[in-house]
Amino acid sequence: MRRHNVLSIAITVLFFFAFSICADAGSKQRPSKSPQALYKEILLHLDEIEQHNPKAQISVFKTRDALNKLYSHISGDLTDPFHADGNLAVPDMEKGADMYGRAAGLRDSALKKELFNLVNNHVSVGYQRAQDLVFSDIDNRGGFVECVYTGRKLKTNGEPDATNMNIEHTWPQSKGAVGIAKCDLHHLFPADSKANGIRGNNPFGIVNGASWEQGGSKTDGDVFEVRKQQRGDTARGMFYFSIRYNKDISDAEEATLRRWHKEDPVDELEKKRNDRVQNFQNNRNPFVDKPELVDQISDF
């Protein structure tokens, strides 16, 4: 099938999505397929188009951006996007709002379920857009981007050559960071390309005899130890990913991450990063907002 035909189908579905929401909201009837389900289905199709048709990226980006703008105002509860009165639910994501009120007093599986409901319906920006955002906005401070592993700084206003710096998937792609998880900004960070390659998909842990070391990060080939300035951010990114995508963290790695979470508490830069990510994908990392929640979950 030709690229323009595939994109025409995507745009047609997007139009149907908009029409079905407006029609059902007006008549106070629920669609046979929820807006969330339609949204995720279209995103998967767009990701597939982008992967197999690189030359169509610009059209895919425009389609995805239009879809995200359309959907962002209705990203409410996972199980029921409509209030009892039939109106679309709009989540209260304003700063200072008690987003976590329903999580008060919960522990373990009950807390994990509640947090999942809070973070699940984020707006996927797509992988290319995610890379652009990391280097141009989210992790760009005064025109410089810093590698989370080595501390090396690069002067840039956009995505650099991938052989220089690229995107680190804190939760490796080979271990489940695929689909919309691949471009979830809460676990994506800028990294020196060599350091990123050396980490590979190794789990995080404490290194005793390093085979490589730079800027405070090191590896022995089996586990990767993150420099002190990044340890807490990495841990909270992993905890978020575990909750958001229902992925288990091994006991050994979890013990290390819990230790790093304590050693490197949330700071203002991490809070601001959380705000910036919310601006683009409309969800937050609960463990940045409420670090104490980590201790209320005994097993990630």
Per-residue pLDDT, 94: 44
Tell me what the mean pLDDT of segment 188-203 comes to: 97
Per-residue pLDDT, 266: 97
Number of domains present in the structure of the chain: 2
Rounded-to-integer distance, Cα 249 and Cα 98, Å: 28
Higher pLDDT, 272 or 54: 272
Whether residue 20 is contained in a domain is answered as: yes
Asked if residue 292 has pLDDT above 50, the reply is yes
Q: Which residues contact 224 (CB under 8 A, 6 or more apart)?
A: 198, 199, 202, 203, 204, 205, 207, 217, 218
pLDDT band at 1 (very low <50, low <70, confident <90, very high): very low
Same domain, yes or no, for 114 and 226? yes
Task: Output the 3-class SS for 108-168.
Answer: HHHHHHHHHHHHCCCCCCCHHHHHHHHHHHHCEECCEEECCCCCCEEECCCCCCCCCEEEE
Tell me what the mean pLDDT of segment 67-88 comes to: 44
Asked if residue 77 has pLDDT above 50, the reply is no
When the pLDDT of each residue in the chain is averaged and rounded to a whole number, the result is: 83
Same domain, yes or no, for 122 and 271? yes
Q: Which residues contact 242 (CB under 8 A, 6 or more apart)?
A: 248, 249, 300
Nearest to 24 by CA among 72, 83, 84, 86: 86
Tell me what the mean pLDDT of segment 39-61 comes to: 67
Per-residue pLDDT, 90: 36
Per-residue pLDDT, 64: 66
| E runs forming strands in 207-287 | 212-214, 217-219, 224-225
Tell me what the mean pLDDT of segment 259-275 comes to: 97
Per-residue pLDDT, 29: 52
Whether residue 77 is contained in a domain is answered as: no
Same domain, yes or no, for 13 and 60? yes
Per-residue pLDDT, 69: 59
Asked whether the beta carbons of 134 and 126 are under 8 A apart, the reply is no
Per-residue pLDDT, 45: 74
Same domain, yes or no, for 14 and 105? no
Asked if residue 32 has pLDDT above 50, the reply is yes
Whether residue 189 is contained in a domain is answered as: yes
pLDDT band at 238 (very low <50, low <70, confident <90, very high): very high
Asked if residue 166 has pLDDT above 90, the reply is yes
* Residue span of the structural domain in which 30 resides: 3-72
Rounded-to-integer distance, Cα 233 and Cα 212, Å: 22
What DSSP state is assigned to residue 224?
E
Question: How do residues 110-150 score in pLDDT, each as one tens digit?
Answer: 999 999 999 998 989 999 999 999 999 999 999 999 999 99
Whether residue 81 is contained in a domain is answered as: no
Rounded-to-integer distance, Cα 140 and Cα 156, Å: 8
